[in-house]
Structure 1
């Protein structure tokens, strides 16, 4: 079997703190993402730009945050979920494997929250060769950031199911990762109804980063097996975002 390392991380738009205490963390996050050692990194709350913060912070990256965070040799794909007064933010995928295609699906449930799915198709080598090996297979990855209301999340999972039925071949390996905002842990059953499962018996808290109590961040798979889940440890992780990253080992047949 092939094992890929998949991480999901809500980066809180690369900034922490409020008011005059607000601080830029995107440079620390670049080191953090590289330290995860993941083949695929699924990101939420990624800024495309923010005019006001760009003026405030002298070291704001010139590139969008997805490209800035991508380790050397990784491809970056970003799609906007939300348009605000001063900028845009959304989901992103950073991949060690070649990106064959990507698309975005709006799953906003009401006018107060703009939410979307980012779907990326990757060329996954069957062996240890180059990513453009003729024997490469495809791996589908969908990044989600679900709503704050449980009924909205249920409807968004149903929308996810309709999207998968249209966009992902039945036999293709699929990973769905992101911030599910599911503090009541009520979405495992509707996800299982779509054939998507996480590690058996896993409950890995990721929020809030300083005192993690809630497993808001998840990695599910279909046609593959999530075999292990972990979060990194150390003082820095509690400062760089309000979430901890979740790292999964996913076994593909």
Structure 2
């Protein structure tokens, strides 16, 4: 645990499938991302746009990892959990979670709003000091109406699957310009550190916070996003890090 036995550090990071750039200038960043994730020193790392496999990228990049990206990125001693959201012509990708705490169980729930965007919830139950903590990794749609409907489905999932007295973390890329989903999240008892925006997108010159970390029955106390040339080159998003009191 980070800091003390009562502190939990959670990070969320859209890794853009481990590749940056366009056309011939595309470059492989997955190795740098591995070092970066280790530097975050988070107890739980929630990842979006994670490739399980991709035949085209593996053929293009000579240093493409043999392992699925979630397993490749997991620091030593962490457990990697992955679930597919989208199956494409060349492979598949989805959400992942890395944790230094034992995993009790995992599941996936489809929240796709239309056939052009395949989206899902990755639900992982983690044992933290003999207390179950539910972590849900999300990557919401690009259309506002889709996000609204997906938040409703998230609420229904939590109400159906998780006891009201158990701790919940919801983290990921909300594609939420202006934090418009915060009211709906707060209505579910989920809170983040707010008052000032923690800008995460685009990574080279952040102007918006698209990534959020919310908690229920745990108190968010501090939120940050590392910045600088190294972070700006690895993905189009910056990682977001929140420290919670259990």
What TM-score bracket applies, with the shorter chain setting the length? over 0.9
- Is 1:224 matched up with 2:224? no
In the alignment, structure 2 segments of 5+ residues that lack a partner are none
SS, match of residue 66 in structure 1: helix
Deviations 1:55-100 (A, max 9, x none): 1101100000000000000000000001111010100000000000
CA distance in 1, matches of 2:161, 2:65: 34
Separation in structure 1 between the aligned mates of residue 225 and residue 184 of structure 2, nearest angstrom: 25
Match 2:135 to one of 141, 144, 155: 141
Between the aligned partners of 1:229 and 1:180, the Cα distance in structure 2 is 16
Alignment root-mean-square deviation, CA = 0.9
Matches within 5 A, 1:92-241: 92-125=96-129, 136-241=130-235
Counterpart in the other structure of 2:30: 26
CA offsets, 1:3-49, max 9 Å, x none? 10000000000000011001000000000000001010000000000
SS of match in other structure, 1:82: strand
Q: Say which of 69, 73, 79 aligns to 1:75.
A: 79
Q: TM-score, with normalisation over the residues of structure 2?
A: 0.97
Equivalents in 1 of 2:22, 2:194: separation in Å? Answer: 38
* Aligned positions, number: 242
Runs (4+) off by over 3 Å? none
TM-score, structure 1 length as denominator?
Answer: 0.94
Q: Residues of 1 paired with 2:220 and 2:138: CA distance? A: 17
Is 2:86 the partner of 1:86? no
Q: Are the aligned partners of 2:227 and 2:238 in contact in 1 as well (CA < 8 Å)?
A: no
The unaligned stretches of length 5 or more in structure 1 are 126-135
Q: Give me the whole-angstrom Cα distance separating, in 2, the residues matched to 1:27 and 1:238.
A: 15
Indicate conservation of the 8 Å contact 1:9/1:41, yes or no: yes
